[in-house]
Structure 1
Amino acid sequence: MDYNFYFKELRLEMATPIRFLTRLASYCFYAILAVATLTFLLSDIEWLFWIGVLLLLFLIDRIIHFGQAERSLIGLLRRLPRPSRRNFGKEKKESQAISINIAGYLTSNSLNVLERAFGKSLIVGGDFYLYLLKFIFEHKEIKEGILRMDISLKEFKQRIEEEVDKSLDDPHKNKAELLSMVVSLVKKAFELALLNKSRFIEQPEIFSALAFVNDERINRFFNLFSINSGDLEKALIFGRFKKRFYKSRGLPITLGGFISKPHRRSRHRVMNRAWTSRPTPFLDDFSIDFTDLARREKVGFLIGHQQEYDRLIDILARPTKPNVLLIGEPGSGKETTVMHLAFNLIKDEVPDNLFDKRLVALRIGNLVSGASPDEISKRLNRIVEEITATGNIILYIPDIHNLVKTSGEGYLNAADILMPLIRNDVFPIIGATYPKEYKQLIETQSDFSHAFEIIRVEEVSEDDAIRILTYSSIILERQYKLIVSFGAVKQSVILAHKYFRYKFLPSSAEDLLKEALADASQRKEKILSADMVITIAERKTNIPIHRAGKKELEKLLNLEEIIHERLIDQDEAVKSVSRALREYRSGLSRKGGPISTFLFVGPTGVGKTELSKILSSIQFGSEDLMVRFDMSEYQTKQSILRFIGSPDGKIVGTLTEAIIQKPYSLILLDEFEKAHPDILNLFLQVFDDGRLTDSLGRTVDFQNTIIIATSNAHSNFIKTEIEAGRDTEDIAKELKKKLTDYFRPELLNRFSSVIVFKNLSKDDIKAIAWLKLNGLAKTLEKTHGISLIFDETAVERIAELGYDPVFGARPLRGVISDKLRSVLAEKILKGEISRGGTINIVFEDGEIKFT
């Protein structure tokens, strides 16, 4: 059945004087009716008295429903097919559609405020939307939403007045134009009310709809306060639900309490309304009845996953193969989707052949606990007999992979018992598992896996997660005795999705929000702001997330000097990486890929790895957040399995797992040119959009990483050209062409920069020696309180021993360890030097001496 929605309100079509007289007549009518009712009730004439009673009941009904709309959207939602809900604004042929007037769903307050703004704009002039904003702003729920967006109510109201005054100079709009504006606005408000499953179109829906209209003045006004349509609509949830629950039954304890229309509480019910089902006492011992939980308002709340839920209903409702297997990572929403089915089952909002069903979750842990394989089989057989006999159960089996395990404990027998029932469609079954377990345990059992229709449950979108967390924050406010701003909710989701990918949304965002709430509560804060959430995220990741302050700005502008405190020479390389970090921190870097990708090309021991460590320390706060891969270990075609994991899940991918564990890190790919071509091809996608799909189908995010590949390719060419005095930029351009001997051009073009590292001179090696020796002195001072002083001759000797034309400065570390560290360690252990002492190191008579 199709529906055609339109808006027609006679009061708006009346002339202003007629509208006034109509309202006055309405007030007079109710006043006369009240007086007549009282008179009839006091009358001695019996039939007049009973008329008075009827009039009194009529007035009581009007008082009870005062402010409500003529019709409820809840009833419409039950009749409305899902495609109509999404496409209600599209025109339908009159012969094919039922026409419904949206005006009947407007509350009297909503209609009054529309009428006031309409009349004011028509008579005085000025922007209709701004008048409406001015009048609707006084609503308590709307003020609450604005406050939650960290906006000053005083400034907001003042700006409205200013904009209204400016709009008086605009050309007057005629009645037809204003009516057209009202119609488009109310239709959008109607759509939002349907999406929120509201009972009526109330003022918050009209206020939210204002953010969607195409009007220059109203759009400019909202942009002034950085208000967008999605944020505004979600921020209003705070006021809407606080009002609803404070008036009725108090705030819910869990999200299940936010269901749009609470169902009447009732005890456990096994009998269907046709009285054809039977009790299931044995099944009840090993299961949880989700329909019972839904009746007690414990489960049923669902945001997002609508596509997965619709598919679930379609499969369960069909006559053959009504079995579903939900596959998703922990926290993806598999069980939430199933619980929403339980809620709709008790409301009878399901297809006819699912009507009056019970949704029961089998607890496999209880089923196998303390039982032998033979006992497990007996238990399962008895459960199956009860389910078959009662005939009204949908069986949900979480962690269904446990039924097909072959490592003892009788799990295989359990799957064998269910297989004939699944094949014969005896009763619907919903299973849930994880991608890894599906690959390892279920996919290999072809008979079992083919008996199910697979639905993959993905992570909810950021938009849906913000909505979910908004509801959760209403509950958390009571627990932590703090006000949660909408900005804090939004930042929790954005930051969790970006930096804490080890958990899915909304769980990761809720964890971050709770941590921020606990911290704010300890510090006796009254309001949790977005900045407080950012501070907690920075503390957890050790990454600068706040907009750069004065101190950090100074650091960013002087990155070259900071890097050169630890790295000698390689000016072009230092400039390139410094430039990339400044672009990232200023928000001007390319979106969608990693923070930056570099190809460091040059001979061994010239500072490629050292610069990578410095970058990791600057951007991520620690060298420990550098993940290093020796690509010479991945030269064969089979090694790709070690890199991203095997399809059966038995081999864990070294790269993908490392990034899942450390999503914000520097990835160093040593000797990149030695990797197998198939592995090099993987990085085309990584460099391009910052994502890689592993063998289990998981999307691994590289957008918070810096990727540095190093190569020794054409080192002799670099050395020759630099010695000839050629500019490094020119060398880099020609080198990029030569590197096609090792890399595909499309891979080279995806690097942010190809950076040439030149050979180190003897003076460079001496400067590096000074850096290393000063580091050793600081360590000795810190750990043992001993001062270490180097003579120039000692430094020159160490530099001479640590230099190798082939390996650059790489031998230097071994020389310092052999000639200095080991000797100093021996002297400390022998007690030859003690805390407060000073050691002078000099080179005399052909040897290094300690005095």
Structure 2
Amino acid sequence: MTNQTAPGAQSSISPDQLVFIDPRFEFSAPLRFLWSLVTFSFYGVFIVGTILAVTSDIEWLRWAGILCALWLVDRALHINTPPYQLDRLSADKVAGVNVAQFLLPKSFRIIVRALDRTGISGGDFYLHFMKALLRDAGIRGALWRLEISPEEFEHKVDEEIAKYTKKDKQYSHAELLARIELLIKMAFIEAYGEGTRHIAPSNLFAALGTIDDAAVRRVFYLFSLDVGDLQKALIFSRYRQRFAWMRVIPATLGGFARKGPRHRIMNRAWTARPTPTLDMYSDDLTDLAREQRVGFLIGHAQEYGTMINILSRGAKQNVMLVGDPGSGKETIISHLAFNIVKDKVPDALFDKRLVSLSIGELVSGAGPEEISGRVSAVVSELIGAKNIILYIPDIHNLFKTSGEGFMNVANMMLPAIAGDAFQVIGSTYPREMKSEIEPHTDFLGAFETVRIEEITEDEAIKLLTYVSIIMERQYKVVISFEAIKAAVSIAHKYFKQKMLPSSAEDLLKEALADATHRGEKMLTDELVIAVAERKVNIPIHKATKEEAEKLLNLEDIIHKNLVDQEPAVGAVARALRQYRSGLARSGGPIATFLFVGPTGVGKTELAKILATTQFGSEQMLLRFDMSEYQDKQSIFRFIGTPDGKMSGTLTEAVIQKPYSLILLDEFEKAHPDVLNLFLQVLDDGRITDNVGRVVDFHNTIVIATSNANSDFIKDSIEAGRTIEDIRDEFKKKLTTHFRPELLNRFSDVIIFKNLSVDDTIAIARMQMKKFAKMVGQDQGIALDIDDAVVQHLARIGHDPVFGARPLRTVINDRIKSQLAEMILRNEISQGSHLRLTMEGDTVRFVVTEEHN
């Protein structure tokens, strides 16, 4: 059994498993010089002798010269390569391998240079080695990608070297060899994990970051250089150098995979059979892998390993891959094809063909009888071939009720699949798995299910590093490593409609297009952030001085649209300041509030203001009337029905708008099971929907409103008590409506008091001011409103029970309706100047003059 380590794969090799033997490092500097002199002298004599032999008149001597010349040519072609290649080393043969055999001559020379320098001047060997590595163009390029000046980095290394004198740190030869041995072993592990052929200088530099050396750590710390970031940035340099030598950059990720052996239809034991019918309705993925068009994989190591184990066992060898679009199902299948071609699979899968069947082509343009004949022929060929793994993408199409042909295909293939006559890999989506496949228990029972999860941010960064090499050629813009990190981080946080890496790649492409339009030569993280902010319409960057000033005065900004309710305004302002300064708690939504108070006091209005302040628009407010969720079954309206046929209103809304304010009106009226649903939302910021997807609430603000115990608030305020005085007592009373564990999960329970007449007057003044502005902008009519009119409307619109809610009706009836009739009767028109005054208890509309 052998395994393939793909580029970017994680390696679990320990240095203790490896061996380091290289007598050249035992030599002293003079002895190494002597050895080099003898070697060059030998080659010089050998070349001269070969030339004389080739030009000799003696036939046998001439042939001997030709053989020697061929040997010299071969030696010249391989003079800069070590005797062994890492990508040909199987995982089960790593233990005990001599790592020195994979060291590039260039890497050897750099180590020797540092070794000699340390012997001469003393000091820290690793610092001298770092200094020697900085001569490599690829390493300097990687630092530049990380927005670190190579010159400044080298200067800092020189400063660290200068701190040591020969007396400060003097190694014995054995100690130096021990440090070299550890370094090369760590570089081997790094190179093997990255899927490179040899131990190159870039691998040695990455290995430096894993060495426990105070001086090295200090240099890395000074430049905030993360080892993981360094390893990924070195990918640019490594493949840039490789493709520069090849004078080509691959058009797809498949070009980063190593080329496999020649095309084979028949297995090497010549026991397989041709499959002409199957070939008509399928694509051979192993052929595509040989052409370097598929096979590149980063991440999904666990899912891939599980799939291999299932396919390799003795019974029930069929796999069902279940994952959302873009989760990587096709990539995993392609990587299997690649490893089959490379003979990097267990013995049970050796020499297999991986064939992708197109159900659409199989049933297209044929009646039931012809379809039956085609399926029978395909199944017969699969059974007879004995070396085919059949891949059926979107296998749920076998059960679509819209076509009888699909059902016939399922019924005809089931006996062979269930009987392990041939191996099958199917792929489907979570919703289709629930609605189409799970009801067919006999079919599902023939498969082992493997869930394909979204790759991690770290894996997405590594994958996009490879993608960026291709995109740089397309857009003619250099992509900084920080831009890649920003794209992944932002996409994972704000663009949940797609999974990583697709969401990050789309954002990176948009940013590249914008950079090209602007004439930028390098794509930076600032440009990526700017493009993302335009898409989501919320601030992502760190608060500027102007924004910080607004945040510090957020209460005043809110009060431009909301009257009184100081404790509520202060609480939400503090929460937003914590979030924008990066101090908000991790693991949950931005903030979660329970607004409690009488009707019409500003609870919903404050939610609207928050939506506009944080998310840019009231359109980002997702409102749910919880009085509509009073029965136990209504929970499925939120998360979707168990059969997968109906999506959840809450989960789908958050997937479409992951950056939004969720308003839960009349929260206390919902069924207790529905309320329990929000325990996880408020605490962890996530919820699982009906098809197993985890929906992320980390970028939302959750506000629940309630009128519970409003009379207690009213009576307490009228008795002269303040909100702070009644807070604890009021929270205890809330436990009659809400479970304590639910209340405790809110960031804050905010009490809204009843509005006074003066509050209603202030609200009326605010609303009439907005109305006058709207009339002026939309109708071109100047509208002046006496304060007596405002107070008259407020007195009529004030209600001790319903707060300021009736005020809107009063303004509509007394002001807007009459003004509408005047416009329709042409009593006023664009350019008119209208004044609203009081005459007794009646509002008079007086046209005073035309205005410009």
Report TM bin, short chain: over 0.9
| Correspondence 1:21 to 2:18 | no
TM-score by length of structure 1 reads 0.94
Letter in 1 for 2:528: V
Q: 1:463-474 alignment to 2 at 5 Å?
A: 463-474=458-469
Higher mean C-alpha deviation, range 616-625 or range 782-791: 782-791
Counterpart in 2 of 1:358?
353
State yes or no: 1:155 paired with 2:152.
Answer: yes
1:91 maps to: none
Distance 1:276 1:11, change over 3 A: closer
Q: In structure 2, what residue type is equivalent to 1:739?
A: L
User: Structure 2 CA distance, aligned partners of 1:19 and 1:207?
Assistant: 24
TM-score, normalised to structure 2's length? 0.94
CA-atom RMSD in angstroms:
2.0
Question: How far apart in 1 are the matches of 2:302 and 2:833?
Answer: 73
Equivalent residues of 1:328, 1:334 under 8 A apart? yes
Deviation for aligned residue 1:31 = 3.1
Decide whether aligned partners of structure 1 residues 146 and 265 sit closer, same or farther in structure 2, where only a CA change above 3 A counts.
Answer: farther
Is 1:624 matched up with 2:652? no
Give the 5 Å matches for 1:446-845. 446-845=441-840
Q: Which amino acid aligns with 2:80?
A: G
Alignment match, 2:193: 195
Counterpart residue number, 1:216: 214
| SS across alignment from 1:835 | coil
Deviations 1:318-338 (A, max 9, x none): 232211111000110111111
Q: Among residues 72, 77, 83, which one is paired with 1:59 in the alignment? A: 72
Count of aligned residue pairs for this structure pair: 832
Give the match for residue 297 of structure 1: 292
Partner of 1:74: 87
Partner SS state of residue 587, structure 1? coil
2:641 & 2:421 partners in 1: Cα distance?
A: 36
Q: Which residue of 2 aligns with 1:263?
A: 260
Distance 1:761 1:16, change over 3 A: same
Q: Which residue of structure 1 lines up, in the alignment, with residue 306 of structure 2? A: 311
Q: Separation in 2 of the partners of 1:842 and 1:371?
A: 81
SS of the residue aligned with 2:425?
strand
> Counterpart amino acid of 1:252?
P
Contact preservation (8 Å) 1:374, 1:410:
no
Please name the residue that 1:237 is paired with.
Answer: 235
Q: Distance in 2 between matches of 1:168 and 1:600?
A: 68
Q: Which residue of 2 aligns with 1:204?
A: 202
Secondary structure of the structure 1 residue equivalent to 2:289:
helix
Q: Write out per-residue CA displacement over residues 288-313 of structure 1, whole angstroms, 9 at most, x where no aligned residue.
A: 11111111111111111111112212
Rounded Cα–Cα distance in structure 1 between residues aligned with 2:448 and 2:300: 17
Q: Which amino acid aligns with 1:226?
A: S
% identical equivalent positions: 56
The answer to whether the Cα contact below 8 Å between 1:372 and 1:409 also exists between their aligned partners in 2 is no
In 2, Cα distance between the equivalents of 1:367 and 1:822?
Answer: 67
Following TM superposition, by how much is the alpha carbon of 1:406 offset from its aligned partner in structure 2, in angstroms? 2.9
1:151, distance to aligned residue in structure 2 (A)? 2.0
Structure 2: stretches of 5+ with no match in the other structure = 2-12, 847-852
Matches of 1:372 and 1:772 in 2, distance apart? 69
Does 1:443 pair with 2:438? yes
> What SS does the corresponding residue of 2:450 show, helix, strand or coil?
strand
* Shift of residue 42, structure 1, vs aligned partner: 4.3
SS at match of 2:97: strand
* Cα distance in 2 for residues equivalent to 1:183 and 1:830: 96
CA deviation map 1:552-599 (0-9, x unaligned)? 111111111111111111111111111111111111111111111111
Q: How does 1:324-403 map to 2 (within 5 A)?
A: 324-403=319-398
**Which moves more between the two structures, 401-410 or 618-627?**
401-410
2:141 is matched with which residue: 141, 144, 149? 144
Matched AA of 2:269: A
Residues 798 and 373 of structure 1: CA distance in aligned 2, closer, same or farther (over 3 Å): farther
In structure 2, the partner of 1:166 is 163
Tell me the alpha carbon deviations over residues 433-477 of structure 1, each in whole angstroms, 9 at most, x when there is no partner. Answer: 000001001001110111111111111111111111111111111
Give 1:35 shift.
3.4
Cα 1:309/1:564, change in 2 over 3 Å: same
The one-character-per-residue Cα deviations of 1:683-716 (angstroms, maximum 9, x if unpaired) are 2222222111111100000000011111222222
Q: Distance in 2 between matches of 1:212 and 1:732?
A: 54
Q: What's the offset of the Cα at 1:153?
A: 2.6
Q: Which moved more, 1:523-532 or 1:354-363?
A: 354-363
Q: Which residue of 2 aligns with 1:114?
A: 111
Looking at structure 1, the residues matched to 614 and 528 of structure 2 have their Cα atoms a distance apart, in angstroms, of: 20
Aligned-pair CA distance for 1:265: 6.2
> CA deviation digits over 1:582-636, x for unaligned, max 9?
1111111111111111111211111111111111101100111011111122222
SS of residue in 2 equivalent to 1:100: coil
SS in structure 2 of the partner of residue 848 of structure 1: strand
CA contact (8 A) 1:256 1:300 kept: yes
Question: What do the CA deviations read for 1:101-133 (whole angstroms, capped 9, x no partner)?
Answer: 111111111122122222322331222222212
SS of the aligned residue for 1:638 comes to helix
Alpha carbons 1:373, 1:411 under 8 Å: kept: no
1:165 to 1:536, Cα distance in 2 relative to 1, 3 A: same
Q: Distance in 2 between matches of 1:837 and 1:223?
A: 69
- The worse-fitting range, judged by mean Cα deviation, of 808-817 and 121-130 is 121-130
CA apart distance, 1:199: 0.5
In structure 2, relative to structure 1, the CA distance for the partners of 1:73 and 1:719 (3 Å cut) is same
- Cα deviation for residue 45 of structure 1 reads 4.9
Amino acid at match of 2:840: D
C-alpha distance in structure 2 between counterparts of 1:722 and 1:182, whole Å:
77
Deviates more, 1:734-743 or 1:461-470: 734-743
CA gap 1:767/1:385 in 2 versus in 1, 3 angstroms: same
Task: Look up the SS of the partner of 1:683 in the other structure.
Answer: helix
Which residue in 2 is equivalent to 1:405?
A: 400
**2:22 is equivalent to residue 9 of structure 1:** yes
Measured in 1, the distance between the counterparts of 2:731 and 2:214 equals 50
Contact 1:360 1:393 in 2 (8 A): yes
Match of 2:424 among 399, 410, 429: 429
The one-letter amino acid paired with 2:241 is K
Q: Deviations over 1:189-238 (max 9, x none)?
A: 11111111111011001111112222222222222222211111111111
CA contact (8 A) 2:418 2:443 kept: no
Aligned-partner SS, 1:789: strand
- The verdict on how the C-alpha distance between 1:445 and 1:793 changes in structure 2, with shifts beyond 3 A counting, is same
Deviation per CA, 1:345-396, whole angstroms, max 9, x where unpaired? 2222222232222211111222233333333323222222222233322111
Which sits farther off after the overlay, 748-757 or 412-421? 748-757
**Aligned residue in 2 for 1:178:** 176
Q: Check 1:565–1:247 CA distance in 2 against 1; reply closer, same or farther (3 A cut).
A: same
CA spacing shift, 1:408–1:53, aligned 2, 3 Å: closer
Q: Find the residue that maps to 2:135 and give its secondary structure.
A: coil
Question: C-alpha distance in 2, partners of 1:723/1:6?
Answer: 84
Deviates further, 224-233 or 196-205 = 224-233
Gaps of 5+ in 1: 89-97
What is the CA deviation profile of residues 129-165 of structure 1, one whole-angstrom value per residue up to 9, with x for unaligned ones?
2221211112121122112112223322222222222
| Separation in 1, partners of 2:607, 2:375 | 58
